[in-house]
Homo-oligomer: A and B are copies of this chain.
Amino acid sequence: MEEINLIIAKNLKTIRESKKLSLEKVAELTGVSKTMIGQIERGESSPTITTIWKIANGLKISFTSLINHPQPDTKVVLRNEIQPLFEDNGKYRVYPHFPFENDRRFEVYSVEIEKGGYLSSDPHVEGAEEYITVFEGELTVRVNNIEHTLQSGDSIKFKADRPHSYHNSGDTLTRLSMVIYYPA
């Protein structure tokens, strides 16, 4: 998940050292206490937006240079690293492979639903869409009061800004891929 305050910590320390400034010098330039600068660099504090503003302006750097962390060209996410979310007494399991991140407009999940497993989802934000492909078993999606039953290999796309539900209507484990898109 990459804690945001750790990102800032690393960025600030890198920038400060690249400018060869001491904590005290940064404190002078920014009007933020030496102690606070140190704590931020160590990730011990989640600074307020005004503090970040003072730092950015005092150091004459952009806001994003503190917030952005360079995205690696390649990123591998192992199943074991993913902390699944459990619903319906563990019968419905969500694996967030690529959760929402700053500018990215979509998320990638996979879902496992045991036999009989069911989940009713509240509407997402207006304009949101879901793209589902079934990889194993059978899935029944209900949206707009219409049920759609899919088999392995089938897909469905629907506007997810209304109530919808997922149901393993088959006799075996259902596994599927889900992409959620959010409008800009």
Contacts and interface: CB of A to CB of B under 8 A. Distances in A.
Interface in A40-80: 46-53, 56-57, 59-60, 62-64, 67
A89 interface: no
A4 B60 contact: no
B4 A62 contact: no
Interface residues of A, number: 31
19 contacts: A4-B49, A4-B50, A5-B50, A19-B125, A20-B126, A21-B125, A46-B48, A46-B49, A47-B48, A47-B49, A48-B49, A49-B67, A60-B100, A60-B182, A62-B102, A62-B103, A63-B67, A64-B64, A64-B103
A59 B20 contact: no
Contact of A49 (B52, B56, B64, B103): B52
A8 B49 contact: yes
Interface in A20-54: 20-21, 29, 46-53
A160 to B, nearest CB: 12
A49 B9 CA distance: 12
A56 B5 contact: no
Contacts of A8: 49
Nearest to A61: B182
A169 B60 CA distance: 31
A63 B126 contact: no
The list of the 7 closest CB pairs from A to B, nearest first, reads: A60-B182, A46-B50, A46-B48, A4-B53, A62-B103, A48-B48, A46-B49
Contacts of A126: 19-20
A29 B21 CA distance: 40
Contacts of A103: 62, 64
Given A5-B49, A5-B50, A63-B64, 19 more contacts: A3-B50, A4-B53, A8-B49, A20-B126, A21-B125, A46-B49, A46-B50, A46-B51, A48-B48, A48-B49, A49-B49, A49-B67, A56-B102, A60-B100, A60-B182, A62-B102, A63-B67, A63-B102, A64-B64
